[in-house]
Amino acid sequence: MAPQHVVIDDRFRIHGGARLVGEVFVGGAKNSVLKLMAASLLAVGKTTIANVPAIADVEIMSDLLRRLGCTVTHEGALLTIEVPQVPMHRADYDLVRKMRASINVLGPLVARIGRAEVALPGGDAIGSRGLDFHIKGLESLGATAHVEHGYVIAEAPQGLTGAPISLDFPSVGATENLMTAAVLAQGVTTIENAAREPDLVDLGEFLIAMGAQIEGLGSPVITITGVKKLSPTHHVTVSDRIIAGTWAFAAAMTQGDITIHGARADHMEVMLEKLTSAGAIVTSTADGVRVKMEQRPTAVDVATLPYPGFATDLLPFIIAMNSIAEGDSLVTENVFESRFMFVNELSRLGAQVHVDGHHASIHGITQLSGAPVEATDIRAGAGLVLAALVAEGVTTVDGAFHVDRGYPKFAEQLRALGADVTRE
């Protein structure tokens, strides 16, 4: 019998031992641009979004918008979205399963055309992120919403009506969906315990540029006064604080010196404080941040929290750094219950990490050792690549497509800083 050809995803091959030195440029935030793209559905006509990162998720969201009847063109870092008078209302599973942010078309579609059917989303394997807040919030605004045959179906044939909404947890996705629904609702909506992330503020500013009336962005209470109609706009995406954080940890772990252009220090205060505690020298530059480390890092304790706390997306990096740091540390995850799946792979490199519930206790060792490992999500993949940089010998990281979803040209950027990283 002829051998069957199995298609295997790319993997990274890393030779450990490099000290990363040089400059990187951080573009627009993945966690912002995907939501901006979804929110473009709120206005008929041509919206343009600049500073768009070249990542796989942007292509998936572009395909989803095309499926809904939009024309999407992408030239360099500029995205143009032409929204029809009446978009389609169904977001199918084949696209939605690839990316969690697909659920963000729910609010705009219900607000614009009174109906949305969105498949229950997929994306990263980091724990259950239930849609209860989204559904309860839309019901508060007068929609009927339920899950049927794997789809969230929401209807508001008479339009939405403003209402007070209080979230049990400051969920970013729910705050975004409810904000994009409420901008076209009749009357006033208040969202209490709202998320405060810079990406959410960016979305709010985009909506205001379209003609929405929103107050309280970046605070726990957002007030939205509905308007009859929004207009298309032009918007520049906020820079990606998680990618900036990744490079900051890369400098700290490899005892390197990286200038991160486009980084916003005011969006990363807690993280930069933790790096300073670990021994890094952090300085502001004209357009970013410089992170330099001259000795082995000192272990630091951290607990992830919604913004302005330490971001859950940075958890793999601080665990990887602590695994080769001087001393013992405790890292607590308060946002996603499965974020620690990453630890099993890190342990294959020799890291001494013990997980108990949502706590990880880490005993720092002087050096990891190379081994084959596998990425389970975007940040885990990038975290394993950074760990491989401080491991003796060769490490392969399978599942490069996860990293592609969040990091443009990751291997090329690492090589430019002096790392021995290839893709195969």
The residues annotated as belonging to the active site are 124
CA distance 87 to 118: 14
Q: 3-state DSSP call for residue 101? A: helix
Are 254 and 19 within 8 A, CB to CB? Answer: yes
CA distance 228 to 181: 12
CA distance 223 to 225: 7
CA distance 233 to 13: 43
**Most distant pair of Cα atoms in the chain: their distance:** 69
CA angle, 197 then 202 then 203, to 5°:
100
CA distance 107 to 243: 27
Residue 148 structure tokens: 């049927």
Euclidean distance between the first and final Cα of the chain, in Å? Answer: 28
Backbone angles phi, psi at 258, to 5 degrees: -120, 130
